[in-house]
Amino acid sequence: MPKLLVLAALLGLAAPAHALSVRDMLGREVTLAAPPARIVSLVPSVTEILFALGAEDRLVGVTDFCDYPPAARRKPRVGGMLTPSLEVIAALRPDLVVATTEGNREETFAQLRRLGVPVYLVAAHHLADVWDAIARLGALTGREAAAGPLLAGLRARVRAVEQAVAPRPRPRVLYVLWPEPLIVPGRESLVTELIARAGGRSITAAEGSDYPRFGLEAAVARAPEVILLANHSASAGPIDRERWRGLTSVPAIRAGRLHAVDGDLLHRYGPRVVDGLERLARAIHPEAFR
């Protein structure tokens, strides 16, 4: 028997008599038999949101990259974001898989749909999208009452940062997402918006794609006054600062404004993105937070 048929039999899914229809963040219609009680998350941001909403009891599977909060590490693992195990997902009998087009593959979505597993897609390029994702997942899991106060608190913290940096000059900021090749945030990147809200001006904000490759010479020519190096995890090892410290013609280096930042806070679009914003603001405008 073909593998997909075996997995479909394992899932034991039947067409719902009274289906519930919702639209995901890409506008795709998703049909559910009922509000999902068993969710597999293929997105670390989604895993963090579900825990923050108090909906972790509905979370029956996560990826190997879903490492926050620490309790997420105790959830059943389905593999990586690019190649999750369909067999493991099927064995978990999910009502819904939450995924993203930015980190998961279309092939995975197609295979899950053939198995009859609904796939809800999320994406966030702006803070407004983060708020939308939290509200949508709150509604999907029946946690609207938790989503409201969570969102109110996050928005208040964003306003506090903006008010603190508003009267101050906006230094030129180089944010290094990856050092080799040099990858930076572009026009439609959430990080670009966060830098602006933190009181800086990203020198790569006009670049066309979300996270383009960029030339080191071009970065030096734009004379950044602050350089932020993203660290992605403890397992990735320490950031190599020495190659940057050698760029003594750059204003940021002359002023000693070379900082490491936690990439998990700034690249994931869960509630901790506001922690990342606050740390960005302190790095760009330390004088505003003494």
0.75 exceeded by pTM: yes
Fold of domain 3-123: Rossmann fold (3.40.50)
Rounded-to-integer distance, Cα 173 and Cα 261, Å: 13
pLDDT tens for each residue of 117-174: 999 999 999 999 999 999 999 999 999 999 999 999 999 999 999 999 999 999 999 9
pLDDT score recorded for residue 17: 47
Q: For Cα atoms 21, 27, 32, give the angle at the middle one, nearest 5 degrees.
A: 20
Rounded-to-integer distance, Cα 143 and Cα 269, Å: 18
Rounded-to-integer distance, Cα 231 and Cα 289, Å: 23
What average pLDDT score do residues 263-282 get? 96
pLDDT: is 85 or 15 the higher one? 85
pLDDT tens for each residue of 71-84: 999 999 999 999 99
pLDDT score recorded for residue 4: 45
pLDDT: is 19 or 100 the higher one? 100
Average pLDDT over the chain, rounded to an integer:
90
For the chain, the residue count is 290
Question: Residue 5's CB: how many other CB atoms inside 10 A?
Answer: 11
> Which bin fits 57, alpha (ψ -120 to 50), beta or left (φ > 0)?
alpha
pLDDT: is 188 or 197 the higher one? 197
Report DSSP letters for 55-66, one per residue: -GGGEEEB-TT-
Q: Residues 198, 204: contact at Cβ < 8 Å?
A: no
Which residue shows structure tokens 């997902």? 89
> Which bin fits 263, alpha (ψ -120 to 50), beta or left (φ > 0)?
alpha
pLDDT tens for each residue of 4-45: 443 443 444 444 445 789 999 999 999 999 999 999 999 999
Lowest mean pLDDT of 203-212, 257-266, 280-289, name the range. 203-212
pLDDT score recorded for residue 7: 45
CA 31 to chain centre: 25
CATH of domain 168-289: 3.40.50.1980
pLDDT score recorded for residue 8: 40
Q: Residues 82, 111: contact at Cβ < 8 Å?
A: no
Peptide bond into 69 cis (omega under 30): yes
DSSP state of 83: S
Q: Where in the chain is the domain with CATH 3.40.50.1980?
A: 3-123, 168-289
